[in-house]
Amino acid sequence: MKKSREFDNVLNECLERLLVNGETIEQCLASCPKQATELKPLLQTALVAKNASVIQPRPEFKARARYQFHLALQEVAAKRSRPLFGWQPRWATAIAIVLILLLTGGSTVAAADNSMPDGPLYGVKLATEQVRLTLTPSELGKAQLYASFTDKRVLEIARMAKKGKSEQVERTTQQLNAHLAMITQLVSAYEEEAGVLMAPAPAKVPGSSRQAEGKSFPAKQANMRAKLRTDMAYYAIHHPAVLRAALRQAPEAVKPALLRAIAVSEANYEKALEALD
Amino acid sequence: MQNEESLVRRAQQHDQDAFAQLYEEYFDKIYRYIAFKIGNKTEAEDMTQQVFLNAIKSISSFRWRGIPFSAWLFRIAHNQVVDYLRKKAKHATTSLDEVLVSNGNNPQLVAEQNLDIERLLLATKQLTQAQREVISLRFASELSIAQVARVMGKNQGAIKALQHSAIVALRKTLSVE
């Protein structure tokens, strides 16, 4: 037992010298002549294993992953410093919006709908969107809302780029990215649920509310899904085109941020469409 | 790299530069660990990215209680690998070609390297789970014995013994001359 532990230690020391310090097998063996016969084949095997283990990630993947990582870091930082509504629970946001509606007759919310990321009412605009999401129960309904928000985000990115506002372009790109990720996630959740519900439908109950709506619930869902697919297919082409057009007119300083926005939108639309296919 | 403990503390306070340094330090190691364990390059890429996104989400819950950051990060990777393998319900045999190195201008060298990786992956299938874990962490991720011990929750003596038995088992399968 003691001898075995000693040998484990010697083997490990030799491995450190061989694999970390770059010494040769012969150099290692020379310093442990008593165990050399037993050590030699093990060190040879370790060297083969080490050399074969050097699997490198593709450079293009590393670049993409690094970019996504930094976006995620910025998203966390942005959440922490969000000035309006961002820290509040959903119900509080909803109450805040209802209060604003009551106090202003809805004019503030209406005005906020056209606001841009550099405007004072932009926080109200985002909060209103959150309320709409909170009040939408179905996954597909939420996904459809997110799709409509992507349209707004792309317009905002283009406007901010034209004004030369890199920071707002970056921040809005993060939001666009998050919307697209949510669409993919919601569609996947819907597909899983629909898979469970694919069992034969029970006999219809006369007078049931869904029947009273004139169209079966699954048929409605299928129509919503088809509409979402059509919208996303259109946006997948239209949005990168809008951003590329903005790129041509944008000041040089904004171009790197805009190029990232184009890359993000192209990659994430592809993922969302894959989830819908 | 700066003192790891100080970097982690800064990262916990949402210092982006500190987190970026930790990312650069561990990205390749985590990737190789996952690629080696699951044997699929594309999946390994997605999973590596996910490890770091999960780390961002849960870094605030990390506590220095004798467990280094590397051990914590590799535990995240390990859990993801376990989930993946459970879902696949079989071990890494499907896409060996995808795990192979694709960089390099010398096609002959790349082909030889690919063959070595394939042989090694097949050989590690003969090892026990613990032996395979030690080989992945030691040779693919280049962790020290102390670090491997922390990741696997064992003492250094046990890891050295596992390393020894794993190399002996590998030698039998690889028949190294």
**Mapped to the 3 state alphabet, what secondary structure does B87-106 carry?**
HHCCCCCCCHHHHCCCCCCC
Ordered DSSP codes for A181-235: HHHHHHHHHHHHHHHHTTSPPPPPPTT-HHHHTTS-HHHHHHHHHHHHHHHHHHH
* Ramachandran area for residue B38 (φ above 0: left; ψ -120 to 50: alpha; else beta): alpha
A177-191 burial, b if ≥16 CB within 10 A, otherwise e? bbbbebbbbbbbebe
Residue A207 has a pLDDT of: 40
Whole-number Å distance between alpha carbons of B18 and A180: 28
User: What are the tokens at B165?
Assistant: 């038995």
Residue A26 has a pLDDT of: 92
Interchain CB distance below 8 Å, B176 and A53: no
Residue A90 has a pLDDT of: 56
Per-residue pLDDT tens over the stretch A117-176: 988 888 878 878 887 887 887 888 889 999 999 999 999 999 999 888 888 898 888 888
Residue B89 has a pLDDT of: 63
What is the band of A261 on the pLDDT scale with cuts at 50, 70, 90? Answer: confident
CA distances from A128 to A85, A113, A134, A136, A137 (A): 10, 8, 10, 13, 16
Per-residue pLDDT tens over the stretch B139-149: 989 899 998 99
The minimal CB distance from B36 to the residues A55, A56, A77 is found for A55
The answer to whether residue A22 neighbours chain B at the CB level (below 8 Å) is no
Torsion (CA) A196, A198, A203, A206 in degrees, nearest 10: 80
CA neighbor of A56 nearest in space, from B133, B116, B75, B41? B41
Per-residue pLDDT tens over the stretch A199-227: 444 444 344 444 444 456 677 778 888 88
- What residues does each domain of chain A span? 58-135, 138-197+213-277
The minimal CB distance from B45 to the residues A16, A51, A61 is found for A61
What is the 8-class DSSP label of residue A165? -
Contact (CB, 8 A) for B121 and B92: yes
CATH code of domain B104-177: 1.10.10.10
Residue A101 has a pLDDT of: 61
- What residues does each domain of chain B span? 1-93, 104-177
Residue A202 has a pLDDT of: 40
Q: Does domain B1-93 have CATH number 1.10.1740.10?
A: yes
What is the band of B51 on the pLDDT scale with cuts at 50, 70, 90? Answer: very high
Per-residue pLDDT tens over the stretch A9-36: 999 999 999 888 888 999 999 988 888 9
Whole-number Å distance between alpha carbons of B74 and B7: 17
Which ranges constitute the DSSP H helices of chain A? 2-15, 25-31, 36-52, 59-81, 90-104, 107-112, 122-134, 139-162, 166-196, 209-212, 217-249, 255-276
The answer to whether residue A95 neighbours chain B at the CB level (below 8 Å) is no
Contact (CB, 8 A) for A184 and A142: no
The answer to ipTM > 0.85 is no
Which has the minimum average pLDDT: A162-171, B42-51, B83-92? B83-92
What is the band of B50 on the pLDDT scale with cuts at 50, 70, 90? Answer: very high
The pTM is what? Answer: 0.55
Whole-number Å distance between alpha carbons of A183 and A150: 10
Whole-number Å distance between alpha carbons of A110 and B136: 58
Name the average pLDDT for chain B. 83
Q: Is the pLDDT of residue A196 over 90?
A: no
CA distances from A172 to A83, A221, A268, B33, B54 (A): 15, 30, 15, 35, 22
The minimal CB distance from B48 to the residues A4, A12, A65 is found for A65
Residues of A in contact with B31 (CB under 8 A): 55, 57
Average pLDDT (B17-46) is 89
